[in-house]
Amino acid sequence: MASTDVAFSGSIPEIYDRHLAELLFAPYAEDIAGRVATLRPQSVLETAAGTGLATLQIIEAVPDAQVLATDLNQAMLDIAARRISAPRVEFRAADAQSLPFANATFDVVACQFGMMFLPDRPAGYAEARRVLKPAGTFIFNVWNRLSDSPIAQVVHDAMAALFPDDPPSFFTRVPWGYFDTEELKEDVRRSGFSQVVIETVEKRSRAASPSTAAIGLCQGTPLRAEIEARGDLNAATEAAADALEKRFGSGPLDQPMSAHVVVASL
């Protein structure tokens, strides 16, 4: 995995937060928070918290829990901290593969669309297991195959057409590259979880316009580094917007997307 695959810095965090919430993350944040709430935890660790979209949903769904939200990228957490101001929420930069917390500390570990980015996923699962209390639960989600999220698929294909000699592969290599449920279940079980349940959840992906979606996906994700290494970012974003408009029309976008939600217990 390239170092740029996990780099959310510069203008990326702000664009990510502004353009990708409804397009990708908000519907699944609500889903994750609802699952956490059913467990009635007193302590929740969130890894790969990003700009706090799931964090906000969790603290609203579980009003009595202490929540510690972590992310590898401090710039993402800075936005989360501006979004959420509550005494029972703490933000801290941390690597999900090497958590700076004692064993058996949390009732729940939650992670929204972060495990795909770990260079060593088994280490991330093992760390989640280590910091969970004996009756604890690990809840996370990963994207299903790219073809089940057509807005992202169109942008991926547009970049392949724009750079045919060296097509960007970030989408299929990282965020939409870990969709095999058997592989996923086996990886989690090998890390010491005795029960692993995977549910495929369909949601709607929405954006105000093709341009909004193109800006978010091309400029608010690590795909940006691949584009900039090959050509002009603005031209590529325009090409993505044109492809989305050709496929879905010029108005607001409302398309399906699909993810696997994993609930693992000790």
State the pLDDT at residue 3: 52
State the pLDDT at residue 211: 98
pLDDT digits (tens, 9 = 90+) for 239-263: 999 999 999 999 999 999 999 999 9
- Angstrom CA distances, 121 to 27, 46, 137, 174, 209, stand at 24, 16, 17, 12, 35
Q: Is the pLDDT of residue 265 over 90?
A: yes
State the pLDDT at residue 216: 98
Is residue 69 within 8 A of residue 80, CB to CB? The reply is: yes
The stretch 5-32 carries a mean pLDDT of: 89
> What's the CATH number where 86 sits?
3.40.50.150
Mean pLDDT, the chain, integer? 95
Which tokens go with 248?
């879905």
State the pLDDT at residue 10: 84
More confident residue, 11 or 24: 24
Q: Three-class SS of residue 180?
A: coil
Instruction: Please report, as a single letter, which amino acid is at residue 190.
Output: R
* Token pair 């294909």: residue: 157
The residues that bridge with 178 in the sheet, in sequence order, are none
- The C-alpha atoms of residue 179 and residue 175 are separated, in whole angstroms, by 9
In the chain, the number of structural domains is 1
State the pLDDT at residue 79: 95
Residue 92 sits in which domain range? Answer: 3-265
φ, ψ of residue 102 in degrees (nearest 5)? -70, 160
The stretch 47-57 carries a mean pLDDT of: 97
Whether the predicted model's global pTM rises above the 0.85 cut? yes
- Angstrom CA distances, 85 to 25, 34, 81, stand at 21, 21, 7
